[in-house]
Amino acid sequence: VRRGKPGCLPLIIFNGVGQSIEVLEPLIEAMAGVEVITYDVPGTGLSDTPALPWRYRRHAELAAALLEHLGHDRVAVMGISWGGPLAQQMTRLYPQRVRKLILTVSPPGNLMVPGRPGVYWRMAHVKRFTDRNYMRSIASHIYGGTIRTDDSALDEHIERLRPPSRRGYLYQALTMWGWTSLGWLWRLKQPTLI
End-to-end CA separation in angstroms for the chain? 24
Catalytic residue among 20, 81, 106, 181: 81
Active site residue 81: yes
Does residue 85 contact residue 56 with C-beta atoms inside 8 Å? yes
Q: How far apart are CA 170 and CA 160, in angstroms?
A: 21
Q: Which residues partner with 27 through β-bridges?
A: none
| Total residues belonging to the chain | 194
Residue 11's φ and ψ, nearest 5 degrees, are -125, 125
Q: How far apart are CA 182 and CA 146, in angstroms?
A: 32
CA 189 to each of CA 8, 26, 50, 88, 109: distance values in angstroms, whole numbers, following the listed order: 21, 30, 33, 11, 19
Q: How far apart are CA 70 and CA 116, in angstroms?
A: 41
Residues with a catalytic annotation lie at 81
